[in-house]
């Protein structure tokens, strides 16, 4: 289980996260709602080891995630698919995926197996395996990004804004894939602005406002909450 406790992150004098408490149980999809600048990406960067917190703890299955070493977090089962994808644009799709399995570099057979799995999850990528990742459409690049983070064989997948800038049909495809990954046993923490699509597949959710958790609850509770409905669902 992911346990985040009283986590605070400062950028100089600016406090981006303030005493955040959050959990993700094994097998859950938990959605993190919030406007731009609410602190979603800061939380994700902290959980993947890119950013060190100024106070508080975050652990996955008891392992600390706050050491500031992303390679530690990835090799302990926490893999992030970042906002903006951060692919290697001139490398082929397949090389991007193989680099996703960098922490398993001594296990070639396992990486080959995982490659088969992500290609069956995203069949669109099979025909593009030798194309430079940067030449793909936005939706396909998002698939490469998710597939790359899956190549690390995560137990917890951190998905930051996977639907950003994608056509509605592609968004649906991406969310179906996330659901299938979750059904295969991967816990998911999903940050989204597309609240409706995200709540559709999530078990629980948190709302982040100004770096604080302002609301939390089950899928049903959030879908029924007036504040969520007016702020994030536009109804």
Partner 1 sequence: MTILFQQLSNALALGGVYALVALGLTLVYGVMRVPNFAHGGLYMLGAYFAYAALNSLGVGYVPALILAAVAVAGLAALLERLVFYPLRNAPHVHAMIAAIGVLFFFEAVVQLIWGADFKQIAEPVPGILNLGGVVITWQRLIVIAASVLVMLGLNFFLKRTLTGATIEAMSQNREGARLVGINVNRVGMLTFAISGALAAVAAALIAPIVSVAPSMGEVMNLKVFAIIILGGMGSVPGAIVGAFLLAFAEVFGGFYINLDFADVIGFAALVIVLAIRPQGLFRRGT
For the CB of residue 155, give the shortest distance to partner 1 in the complex, in Å. Answer: 15
For 62, 162, 194, the CA distances from 152, given in Å and listed in that order, are 19, 18, 26
- Measured distance CA(85)–CA(138) in Å, rounded: 10
Among 33, 87, 198, 228, binds partner 1 (CB under 8 A): 87
Q: Considering the rule CB under 8 A, would residue 50 count as an interface residue with partner 1?
A: yes
DSSP string, 45-96: HHHTTSS--SEEEEEETTEE--SS-HHHHHHTTEEEE-TT----TTSBHHHH
Give the nearer residue to partner 1 in terms of CB position, either 190 or 213.
Answer: 190
Q: Tell me the two tokens of residue 32.
A: 């993190």
**Number of residues forming the site for partner 1 (CB under 8 A):** 27
- Measured distance CA(69)–CA(65) in Å, rounded: 8
For the CB of residue 170, give the shortest distance to partner 1 in the complex, in Å. Answer: 21
Q: Kindly indicate which of the ranges 56-64, 78-86, 188-196, 221-229 contains the residues binding partner 1, using the contact rule CB under 8 A.
A: 78-86
- Measured distance CA(195)–CA(105) in Å, rounded: 37
- Measured distance CA(57)–CA(17) in Å, rounded: 12
Q: CB–CB of 28/218 below 8 Å?
A: no
For 47, 114, 121, 132, the CA distances from 201, given in Å and listed in that order, are 22, 24, 17, 31
Q: Considering the rule CB under 8 A, would residue 102 count as an interface residue with partner 1?
A: yes
DSSP-derived secondary structure letter, 232 = I
Give the nearer residue to partner 1 in terms of CB position, either 155 or 214.
Answer: 155
Q: Considering the rule CB under 8 A, would residue 231 count as an interface residue with partner 1?
A: no
Q: Kindly indicate which of the ranges 22-30, 35-43, 97-105, 196-204 contains the residues binding partner 1, using the contact rule CB under 8 A.
A: 97-105
Among 39, 53, 77, 82, binds partner 1 (CB under 8 A): 82
SS3 call for 40: helix
Among 23, 63, 75, 214, binds partner 1 (CB under 8 A): 75
Contact map string, positions 143 to 162, toward partner 1, x by CB under 8 A: -----xx-xx----------
Q: Considering the rule CB under 8 A, would residue 88 count as an interface residue with partner 1?
A: yes
Of the candidates 98, 116, 95, which has an alpha carbon nearest to the alpha carbon of residue 107?
Answer: 98
Q: Considering the rule CB under 8 A, would residue 48 count as an interface residue with partner 1?
A: yes
Q: Considering the rule CB under 8 A, would residue 107 count as an interface residue with partner 1?
A: no
Q: Kindly indicate which of the ranges 5-13, 28-36, 70-78, 201-209 contains the residues binding partner 1, using the contact rule CB under 8 A.
A: 70-78
Q: Considering the rule CB under 8 A, would residue 125 count as an interface residue with partner 1?
A: no
Task: Point out which residues bind partner 1 (CB under 8 A).
Answer: 48, 50, 70-71, 74-75, 79-80, 82, 85-91, 95, 98-100, 102-103, 105, 148-149, 151-152
């Amino acid at each position: 289980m992911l346990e985040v406790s009283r986590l605070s992150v400062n950028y100089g004098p600016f406090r981006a996260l303030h005493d955040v408490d959050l959990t993700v149980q094994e097998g859950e999809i938990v959605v993190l709602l919030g406007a731009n600048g609410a602190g979603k990406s800061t939380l994700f960067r902290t959980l993947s080891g890119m950013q060190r917190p100024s106070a508080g703890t975050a652990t996955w299955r008891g392992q600390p995630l706050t050491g500031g070493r992303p390679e530690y977090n990835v090799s302990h089962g926490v893999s992030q698919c970042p906002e903006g994808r951060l692919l290697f644009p001139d490398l082929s799709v397949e090389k991007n995926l193989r680099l996703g399995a960098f922490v398993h570099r001594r296990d070639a057979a396992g990486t080959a197996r995982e490659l088969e799995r992500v290609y069956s999850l995203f069949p669109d990528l099979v025909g593009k395996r030798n194309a430079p990742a940067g030449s793909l459409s936005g939706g396909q690049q998002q698939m490469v990004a998710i597939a790359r983070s899956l190549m690390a064989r995560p137990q917890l997948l951190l998905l930051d804004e996977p639907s950003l800038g994608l056509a509605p049909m592609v968004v649906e495809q991406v969310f179906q894939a996330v659901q299938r990954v979750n059904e295969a046993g991967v816990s998911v923490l999903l940050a989204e602005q597309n609240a409706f699509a995200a709540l559709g597949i999530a078990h629980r959710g948190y709302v982040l406002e100004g770096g604080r958790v302002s609301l939390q609850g089950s899928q049903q509770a959030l879908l029924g909450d007036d504040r969520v409905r007016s702020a994030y669902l536009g109804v």
